[in-house]
Structure 1
Amino acid sequence: MASLRSAVLVIVALLVLASMLQFTVKHMESEEELKAVSVFTSFVHQARATVSAGTSLPDPNSYPLPEGCNITISGCNAELRCSGKLLAQRSIC
């Protein structure tokens, strides 16, 4: 009976540990996404300024985005995607 109780406690402890690890990974993903959105906002401000001044757009690849994130420009719109997920879309004109 004592060994069954110990086994149940070990299983519960492993489940709690797995839940905590999963939360940590999700939290890290959201921090990366927040960083990407912050960088994207800087890009949009710079792009709008260059459009107003009539100069060429900044290179989206020169901005320090987290791995798996990219900025694309289509016409007057800029999009931020991380791992294929659309995080932000703004007009730059």
Structure 2
Amino acid sequence: MRQLLSSLSYFSIFFAPFIFPLIVWIASTDSYVIMHSRRALISHILPFASAVPLLILTFGADNPGSVLGYIILFIIIYLGTFIYNIVKGIQVLREYE
């Protein structure tokens, strides 16, 4: 059961990116599940936290090429965390107690 809740925290990027890991983190008493739900929550927040400085830099940029660079950087960060969540969800499911 603990692997299932932990992996669902990572897989929640598909259905409830912020809410599910937060609920699991608050409601769980198992330290293993808490650790993974906290990591999943941070990995869900990371792309949007990185979007704020990128948006500020984009509006202050005079060159259209730099705007495109910022957009590409955001896409790389988002895809990286998306793949990370999928890989960690599979790894947690494959762990044995």
Please report the TM-score for the alignment, with normalisation by the length of structure 2.
0.39
Identify the structure with the greater strand proportion. 1
Higher relative contact order (CA 8 A, sep 6+): 2
Larger radius of gyration: 1
Between structures 1 and 2, the one with greater helix share: 2
